[in-house]
Every structure is written in C-alpha cells, then in structure tokens.
Structure 1
Amino acid sequence: MQNKVQLISYVDRLGGGGVADLRRLLKRPLQGLFGGVHLLPFFYPIDGADAGFDPIDHTRVDPRLGDWADIQALSQDVDVMADVIVNHVSADSPQFQDYSEKGDGSRYAGLFLSLDSVFPLGASEAQLLKVYRPRPGLPLRPITLKNGQKKILWTTFTPQQLDIDVRHPEGQAYLAAILQRFAEAGIRMIRLDAAGYAIKKAGESCFMMAETFEFIAGFAAQARALGIEVLVEVHAYYRRQIEIAARVDWVYDFALPPLALHAFFFQTAEPLKQWIRQRPCNALNVLDTHDGIGIIDIGADSADRAGSPGLVPPAELDALVERIHANSRGQSRQATGAAASNLDLYQVNCSFFDAMGRDERSYLLARALQFFLPGVPQVYYVGLLAGHNDMDLLARSGVGRDINRHRYSADEIASELQRPVVQKLLQLIRLRNECPAFGGEFQLHESAAHELRLSWRAGAHEARLRIDLQTLDHEVCFGELSLRF
C-alpha cells in the first residue's frame, strides 16, 4: 500500500453514478489526492438489508454500478481495496435458496451454521450468554426451509445475513472464488469484514479466539499468494487490537477517532499520548468510516472491566458520548442505540464534522493529527467534504449509520469542494502525500498535558505538528511551508 492518503467511499454515494463516474471524479476534481480507494460493497445487490454487506452474489458487480471491467480500469489509476465479507451471505443467495429447497440433500447444507452445528450436544444458557455480541439478543434465527425442515440458523448481525462455516469445504470454496475474482480485476487490497466473528466454538465467546487468528492467517496467506494485502476490521479492547496487529498485515486505528474527540473536548492530550506510545504502526488511520464512532475501542475490557481499564475513565467516556450528542444538537442521539435499527452497542452514529460541533479549526487540526501519526491515513467521503448529518436519509431508512452515509450528487460535490474548510483539507492531503519526511522517522515530543507535539524527519526533510488544545494555537509545517487554520 502506498504511504499516501486513501479514500473510503460507496461507489454510488459520491456523485450518484457508477464505477466509471467515480473514476472520472478521481481523475478530475480529485486528481492526485489519493493513492488508493476503498470501494465499499459494490456487489449485487448494493441495497440489501445492510447496504451491500449482505451480498446475494459476492462475485458479481451490481449492474447499476458497472462491471468488473470498470473495476479493473479504476485499478489502473489507483490502488483499489474491496471488502471480503467472510462471516455471512444473504438469505437470498443462490446457495441458501438451494439449501432451502433441498435441505440436508443440498451440496450447500454444510455451508450454513446452525445452532446444532455449533452446539452438537446442545447449548446451555451459560454457553449462549458467553457468546460475544455486537448487538442485543442471541445470534439465532428460527426458520422453516422451503422443503419443510425447521432450523435455527446462526445470524451474528441481521436475520438476513446468514453466517457461514468458513472451515467447511463449501465455505472455503466460496471464499476462494471471491479472492480469485478480485485478483483478476486488479484488486490489490482486501478488508476482511466481520472477521472477528468468523469462527464459532461451543462454550467460547466466538469472537477473536485462537481459532479465529488461525483462520485469518490462513485466509491472508491465500490472499498474499494472489498479490493481495489484507486489512482486518475488528472493534475491540485496545490491547487486543495491538495483539491483532502483530499477526496481520494491517489493522484500523479505531481508537483514534474517540481519542481525538476526547483530546479536543477535555483539552488534554494525555490519553492520546498514552495510545501513541504503544499503538501499532501497521495501521490505517481513520477519523470516520461508513460505521459509527467506536467507543469500545478506548473503554475498559468488557470481559474484565475491573482488571483491564480503558484509555479513558468510564465517566469521561460517558461525557464524551454526551458531548457528541450536544455538539450534533441531539441528532446523533436519534441515530444511536435503541433509537435506530441496525443497532450497534459500541458506536455513536454521527458525522465527524458534526461530532466536533462544526468547528472548522478543530476539525482540520484533527485531520492533521490523523495524517501525522505513523500508518496510512484513510478519509471517508463524507469527511472529505466536511459533511453534515443526513437526517432526511435517517428518517427514510431508520438505519442509524445512514446519518453519515449521505448521497452526494455531482452538483453537490462541485459546491462542497469550494467551501474553505474543504479547500484547506485538500491542501493538507496534498502536502501529506508529497512531503518526503513521512517516509522517515517519527517522534512524539515531550510536552505539557494540554499540548501535542509530533514530528517526522527524513534526511533534510522535516514535518512538524503542534497543537495547544486549550487555545487551539497550532503549528502545521511541511518543510518551509506552514499552514494556519
């Protein structure tokens, strides 16, 4: 992966067109800004139960967006990342439809996990309650197949997303076919979606177990053999994220978004500095993604709350969430928790710009922080345009995360790109891409609690960042060039 800023976007929500239209956008108004683009699910269909994360056919581009030739053409311009949804498939998939019609006589009977296949001796209450859950309730869906058989299927996320047995030959063949199709289209980076839940084991948490690491390592080896790097997406206790990073190519720095907000809200950099001293460097640095702002990533370990404290005390974590709600004028509260469907227990749904109260200087300084940390920065398309919460989309869909998934028309993009805050962000991106210092040595400098000082040096090239969190006085320097926000 190039050490340049990357873009994260849905194909059809940045300009309203297909892959070819996004390619034209990247070659014209956004020319030279990004070393790569993470295309959020573009598989058939893009408008299922979970915005494309429940594909009917993971090896087919949704025809409304284009085809594999369009993906391959885009990959000639920028590095392309795509999602491999390893944990589940759609209940409308041809594999499940065959299983539903034929039951145990289907070749795909072993592909789908059921209560019995995970707990062949039966499950006790204690065993079921031990299963780690990203959402309320049990990961189970009672269903009557078309042939009349009754089953209880495993569903980690929505009832439409049926978990697969990734160790069964049909599960292995299913995932291998996806990798092969991606490699043929020039995709050189994949994100393993929901990989932490991929392995189920009776009596265990079914989340990031030793067996899960074994699966990730094996699948990553298959990908590397095809020339594909692997990013693992896991929201977890921060020490666990460090452990994961030591065993994979890339991880997200999901602790950064809430820690950046904490620093600006509480006017202290101490928890952030604590994280910088130990965070993995093989990280994709994000402030926002297609999901919400993670809270679990800096909180205490839910499995051992007393013995494993978080980076931020519980009272401050609660206050951080309330500050986001206040800054967004209550909009994030309407999109978070039980207020909206697609409920996540560990995220606050809000655009990052609105989470910061639309304070342009703080927002740009947070982006500078993101760009100065070791790793590769990724910028979400809504964040690129300093986007606001989309309350109309939220009202139409009822899906909390849609508050930060606005559909930009081409005219909107042209207008948003002229806003001063966006112009300054584009300048910041270009300087981060072009400055040779970021290929050198990073340093976190000693400073007062309310101040953050970072620098990079490669030979005669230097880049410096200083932020006073009390006054927002700052220094953002790329060689001899200084930026003021």
Structure 2
Amino acid sequence: MHLLPFYNPIDGSDAGFDPIDHSEVDSRIGTWDDIKALGKDHDLMADLIVNHVSAQSFQFQDVLAKGKASEFWDLFLTKEDVFPNGMSEAEQQAIYRPRPGSCFTPMKCGDGQTYDFWTTFTDNQIDINVKVEAGIAYLNNVLTKFSANNVNIIRLDAAGYAIKQAGTNCFMLDETFGYLDNLSKQANDLGMETIAEIHSHYQTQVDVAKRVNMVYDFALPPLILHSLFNNNADALLKWLKISPRNCLTVLDTHDGIGIIDAGPMGEKPGLLNAEQIDNLVETMHANSNNQSRQATGAAASNVDLYQVNCTYYNALGANDFDYLLSRAIQFFAPGVPQVYYGGLFACENDMELLAKTNVGRDINRPYLNAAKIEQALNKPVVKGLIELIKMRNEHPAFAGEFSAQGGASVCCLMWKLEQQSISLRIDFASRTALITQLNGTQESTLNLQSLLA
C-alpha cells in the first residue's frame, strides 16, 4: 500500500509534495498511530521528499525573517552554495530542470539582502542542502519517524535532483549515485527498503536499480502505448529483455504519463526515437479528444517537460479492451505491479477539477466517494481488471523465471516455475490476447476479451 503524502499539509501547492512539516501527519486525516496501525497488516510505502521543503515551513519562514542569522540558514540551498564565484550563462543553461525557466528564485530576507534560493520545481518548494549537517539531520528525523511507525518501504521522491555541482547538469551525477547508495543503506539499517523515483533515460533506470532495493519502470507505460498505437511490439520486447527485475511497474500514477523514459536524451538513443515520441504524444492527445492537451505543458500551471497529463484510460481512447490488455502486459512484465486508484476504477479525465484548479496533474487526481466507487465496480472493464489482479497475485508461476519472445505485431510473455507456467500471447494487429496456464499436463486458455463479457 502506497500512501501518497499524508504530511502537514496534504493540500499544499503540490498536493503534499511540498510539506510544511514532513515529520507530522496532517491532523485532518489522522496521526502517526493510524499510520502505524495500517503498517501492521500491510507493506506500507511512504514518500521521503529528498529534494525540497515548503517555503511555508517554519524553518524557511525563519530564514526569510532573519536571513543568514537564522539557525536554519544552512538547511536551504542557494546559488552561492554551488557557484561561490558566480555562474556563467553557459553553466545556467546546462542545468537540467523538469520545468521551463530558471531553477533559482530571488527572495528578500529580513537582513535586507536578496538571495537566489534553489527551487528545482516551484518557488514554493525550496531545495534542501543535503550535503550539510542541517540537511542530513532533517532527513534523518523523517526516516526515524517512518521506522518507528511501521513504514517499511521508502519512495525516494525527486532524489535525482538532490546533488548539485558547478559545471554539470545537476541531475543524476556520479555523486548522486553515491548519495543514493548511502541513503538506501541508511534506510536498510532501519529495517526499510528504498525505491527510487527518477524520470530519465532508460539506461539510468538500469544503473539506479543497482543502487537501491527497487526502481520504478517508467519506460513501460509509453512503450505499451506505442505498441498499441502502432501494432508493433519490437520496442517493448527490447525493453523487457533488459529491464531491471527489481522494479515496481506502473501505467499511471499521481503524476502524468512519463514520456522521456522511453525516448532519446542528448546523444543517447532511446527505446523510441524522437519522431515516435512525437507520434505517441499526439495520439494520446487525439484519443483524449484533446483534453490532455489542455492539461499538459504551458496549458496549465503545473508545467512539466517530460509527461502528458491524462488518465491512462483516456490515453487509450477509453477503449475497454485496449485498457485491459495494457494492464495484462503490465502484470506479465517483470517486477511488482502497482495500480493507481484512478486506474483501478478506470477513471476518465476530470475536466471539472482541472477547470477549477488549473493544475495539469489534477486531470488524473479525481476525488471519489463511496457512490462513485460502487458505480465503478460495476463496470465490465473494472471487473475484468480485478480478475487480472487476482490472477497476478495468486498464480505461483509469477514467482519463477520470465521470458519474452516475438516480433512485429506479436509478442509472448511467459512465467515458469517447475511444472507450472502462465503466458500471455498478444497479436496487436488482430487485437487478440490469450492467457494460457499449464499445470503439469493440464492446460487451460483464457481469451482476454471474455473478461469484458
């Protein structure tokens, strides 16, 4: 069970990813005792927001009031910390930022001085100096809280941006890998596992997987879409043969649908080329009747360079079979599948919420109540998805060896453990998908289409 940020407050400018107090549960939803109770019966995952803290935090408010005289001055990163001798235009242009514009926000403090604070994401998310004692102590405090309250998996949010160094792009540096090593070891020593949340080139995911307990397979969602849009499984098969096995697979999350994870980056070729990425994005926009275009890029205040804001269901044109097929591929891919609540109920784009907030990601962050959930549970596509979830959780072969074969429009994904096996054979061109189970000499076959009956 992954609980999205439950810290004080849950309704900040970035839905809890900008904590005012990372060590405190928002009192409107509960206490640490409630978190502890949930963790007794479930593996519980929580976010460690590594890179930043809210500008509304008492620490940063003290800095604004006192400037360098604040006891919390060292906690926050400024341009001067990384570029003490000044920064050239070329150095600024080299910095990788997930959103357009500068990563620095000038703010005037109570000592009369204006300082350029590092704000990788928004001006309400002030970057932490993770190299100094104050930054280390801040994150240690949160880790200790997690450990004491039955959180046993830590999602390292935005960890790829944590280390900044002059003359680099300040993203996923060699030093960052070392930092992830140490952070993961620290969590392990407290009895917790770590999972890295990093959108980057696919080879980076392979490299990061060696440093932490698990990584997200963010390349999978766009590759499944590409296969369905083009009736071709070649790129998907290439990835499944080299993807990390210690991964968490997703199609949708509380963020948008990542794109750069499958594409080229700089001189590095991607699993998809630039033209294929463009086609992928435009097809998603078309399938959603251009709703996703209204929530993506400069069209909404939550501007991101690497994702399309849309439900996965609408990215597939609300086609029940294609959606169920995409989930079947996810469940047969290596790793532990995670299903986002909006995806579980095959939710469509929430245009009303988007219009209300003008925050792009809100298109895929629906507010649900018991009546809406009950209605969704009666939809054939949701019933079919639940059957697939049961199969993935219960079939013993998924604990065995994985293999992937095929080419062009056909692919076969198989799991085998001793005398038992389960396979998914897909022909994208004819839109047929068969799940075959073998137990010794007994064989049974399920047509995926029948789950929608």
- Shared fold (TM-score, shorter chain, > 0.5): yes
Q: Distance in 2 between matches of 1:374 and 1:89?
A: 34
Q: Distance in 2 between matches of 1:168 and 1:410?
A: 47
Correspondence for 2:289 among 320, 326, 329: 329
Which whole-Å deviations, capped at 9, do the CAs of 1:126-172 have from their partners, x for residues lacking one? 11111111110110001111343321100000000000100110100
8 A Cα contact 1:258 1:294, kept in partner = yes
Correspondence for 2:3 among 33, 39, 43: 39
Correspondence for 2:317 among 343, 348, 357: 357
Task: Give the Å deviation of 1:478.
Answer: 4.1
Identity in percent: 52
The DSSP-based 3-state class of the residue aligned with 2:366 is coil
Is structure 2 residue 345 aligned with structure 1 residue 385? yes
Alignment of 1:270-281 (within 5 A): 270-281=234-245
Task: Give the Å deviation of 1:313.
Answer: 2.2
**Aligned match of 2:441:** none
User: 455-464 or 172-181, which moves further after superposition?
Assistant: 455-464
Which whole-Å deviations, capped at 9, do the CAs of 1:382-430 have from their partners, x for residues lacking one? 0000110000110011111110000111111111111111011011101
Task: Give the Å deviation of 1:484.
Answer: 2.8
Which whole-Å deviations, capped at 9, do the CAs of 1:212-271 have from their partners, x for residues lacking one? 111111111111011110001111111122111122211111010000000000000011
Correspondence for 1:188 among 138, 148, 152: 152
The amino acid that maps onto 1:375 is G
Is structure 2 residue 43 aligned with structure 1 residue 79? yes
How many residues were matched structurally?
Answer: 444
Is structure 2 residue 167 aligned with structure 1 residue 203? yes
Q: Distance in 1 between matches of 2:371 and 2:34?
A: 23
**Aligned match of 1:477:** 436
Is structure 2 residue 416 aligned with structure 1 residue 452? no
**Aligned match of 1:34:** none
8 A Cα contact 2:297 2:303, kept in partner = yes
Which whole-Å deviations, capped at 9, do the CAs of 1:18-45 have from their partners, x for residues lacking one? xxxxxxxxxxxxxxxxxxx111111000
Higher relative contact order (CA 8 A, sep 6+): 1
Task: Give TM-score, length-normalised by structure 1.
Answer: 0.90
Is structure 2 residue 425 aligned with structure 1 residue 466? yes
Q: Which runs of 5+ in 1 are unaligned?
A: 1-36
8 A Cα contact 1:49 1:160, kept in partner = yes
8 A Cα contact 1:368 1:476, kept in partner = no
**Aligned match of 1:3:** none
**Aligned match of 2:264:** 300
The amino acid that maps onto 1:376 is V
Which whole-Å deviations, capped at 9, do the CAs of 1:65-97 have from their partners, x for residues lacking one? 111111111111211100000100001111112
Q: Distance in 2 between matches of 1:406 and 1:390?
A: 6
**Aligned match of 2:333:** 373
8 A Cα contact 1:431 1:478, kept in partner = no
Q: Distance in 1 between matches of 2:60 and 2:14?
A: 18
The amino acid that maps onto 1:160 is N
The DSSP-based 3-state class of the residue aligned with 1:82 is strand
The amino acid that maps onto 2:95 is V
Correspondence for 2:306 among 336, 346, 359: 346
Q: Distance in 2 between matches of 1:197 and 1:170?
A: 18
The amino acid that maps onto 1:66 is G
Task: Give the Å deviation of 1:472.
Answer: 1.1
Correspondence for 2:61 among 80, 97, 118: 97
Alignment of 1:78-477 (within 5 A): 78-301=42-265, 303-304=266-267, 308-445=268-405, 447-477=406-436
Q: Distance in 1 between matches of 2:448 and 2:332?
A: 16
Task: Give the alignment's Cα RMSD to 1 decimal.
Answer: 1.1
Task: Give TM-score, length-normalised by structure 2.
Answer: 0.96
Task: Give the Å deviation of 1:481.
Answer: 6.0
8 A Cα contact 1:189 1:229, kept in partner = yes
8 A Cα contact 2:237 2:407, kept in partner = no
The amino acid that maps onto 2:226 is H
The amino acid that maps onto 1:477 is T
The DSSP-based 3-state class of the residue aligned with 2:224 is helix
Q: Distance in 1 between matches of 2:21 and 2:56?
A: 9
The DSSP-based 3-state class of the residue aligned with 2:403 is strand
Structure 1 167/448 Cα, relative in aligned 2: closer, same or farther at 3 Å?
closer
The amino acid that maps onto 1:328 is S
Q: Which runs of 5+ in 2 are unaligned?
A: 439-443
Task: Give the Å deviation of 1:100.
Answer: 2.1
